[in-house]
Amino acid sequence: MFKFLKNNKQYIVIDAGSHKIAAIAFQIFDNKPFINQIEHHKSKGIKNNHLTDINAFSSVVKLLIKKISNKKMRKEFFCNITDPNLLVKKKRTDINSGKLGISKKEVRKIYIKSLNEAVEKNKYLIHSNPNNFILDEKTLTNNPFGKKCNKLSLLSFNIFVNDFYIKNLGSSFEKNKINIKKFFESGIASSMSTLTEEEKNNGVVCIDIGGNTTKIVVYLENNIIFVENLALAGNNVTTDLSHGLQICEETAELTKIMYGSVVSPFNESIEINLDSRKKKIVNKNLIYGVIKPRYDEILEIVRDKVFDNINTRIAIKSIVLTGGASKIFGIKNICESIFNRKTRVIKSISEYNSFIDRPEFSTSFGMIKLVKQFHLNNQMPKFSNNKLTKMIDKIDNWIEESYA
């Protein structure tokens, strides 16, 4: 009874995608999320990951929230953000650690310093990943506890988004009296729900091919080592098809989903309904001829970006594909030949038609994990620094989980 009262709180994550807006309501019991409701709707008022019509966007959000939320519960809202021009900075922070062995106190102190110093003009620190520690300029380690040194350094991987995106999105939510507690980076969220610990440790590229952007996140030895968003994705394939076949975008979208493939098809003709009366006969080879080069282009750009660094190229063992556009038939094969790496495509395997393993919901489910981390952090004693409690991603629970 008391446990129930204490947990009378609902968490809501909103994936403001350029193709669909999805929302999940859930509760947390014993540090485990329990999903109450999931809903999604075609995106409105958001184009190329920019808000173009606040009213249209707000009306979809309002509808979704009404459907999924429980009126009687207190609520906390979270949302993702996709900035095609992320700013990524590796940062080094130093403190004098004294002569005694390093304890949680020193680790907390260096994190706080690192977060406080991570300030960029017109940018918002969306994610800070503590990667490694250096002891006395010599020893690189991810476990500094108990070790003795005079100077302790922290290497962190910081990701910033344009401040304007946060303000704009935040104020559109305020229209519905929704206060977003924290924003999460879309690609990071996606990788959280799709990658295994083993993949992250061995070296993996997570590629979320969505509507307007392809999100790239690379992990090695459980650390994030590369993040970038590419402003090319599934909707570009649809536009190509619309131009190539001289059909409207809606018909092109349907044609892509029904007949699209990146594997050379048989020489077969199909009939496309243009409207209730008109039809068009199209050869499947033509559809393939339009779609395949665009997927090749997207994956080749990702490969060149990631493999630009020779050390990363050697370290990467596999590729994981997710996002709605990864559902195109045959993508595993072209990805394996472009990257020359084993590829896993996130697939809907659930017999219950569940959303959980559908690639277009990777970001939403990843946000649930991030909220869980955030929730854990908020149960820890609060620091006086307000900025810190807002941005704190991993500090205390990272310490607890890794070294307790």
Site for ligand ATP in 323-352 (CB under 6 A): 323-325, 327-328
Of 214 and 242, the one with the shorter C-beta distance to Mg ion is: 214
366 binds, among ligand ATP, Mg ion, none (CB under 5 to 8 A by kind): none
Contacts with Mg ion by CB under 5 A: the residue count is 3
Binding test (CB under 6 A) with ligand ATP, winner from 10, 49, 93, 131: 49
Binding test (CB under 5 A) with Mg ion, winner from 210, 260, 265, 366: 210
| Binding characters for Mg ion, 363-382, by CB under 5 A (x = yes) | x-------------------
| Binding characters for ligand ATP, 113-152, by CB under 6 A (x = yes) | ----------------------------------------
Which among 149-157, 231-239, 279-287, 381-389 is the span making contact with ligand ATP, rule CB under 6 A?
231-239
Which among 160-168, 227-235, 242-250, 265-273 is the span making contact with ligand ATP, rule CB under 6 A?
227-235
Of 218 and 237, the one with the shorter C-beta distance to ligand ATP is: 237
3-state secondary structure the chain: CHHHHHCCEEEEEEEECCCEEEEEEEEEECCEEEEEEEEEEECCCEECCEECCHHHHHHHHHHHHHHHCCCCCEEEEEEEECCCCCEEEEEEEEEECCCCECCHHHHHHHHHHHHHHCCCCCEEEEEEEEEEEEECCCEEECCCCCCECCEEEEEEEEEEEEHHHHHHHHHHHHCCCCCEEEEEEHHHHHHHHHCCHHHHHHCEEEEEECCCCEEEEEEECCEEEEEEEECCCHHHHHHHHHHHHCCCHHHHHHHHHHHCECCCCCCCEEEEECCCCCEEEEEHHHHHHHHHHHHHHHHHHHHHHHCCCHHHHHHCCEEEEECHHHHCECHHHHHHHHHCCEEEECCCCCCCCCCCCCHHHHHHHHHHHHHHHHHHHHHCCCCCCHHHHHHCCCHHHHHHHHHC
265 touches ligand ATP by CB under 6 A: no
Q: Which residues bind ligand ATP (CB under 6 A)?
A: 17-20, 43, 49, 82, 186, 210-213, 233-235, 238, 253, 256-257, 260, 323-325, 327-328, 360
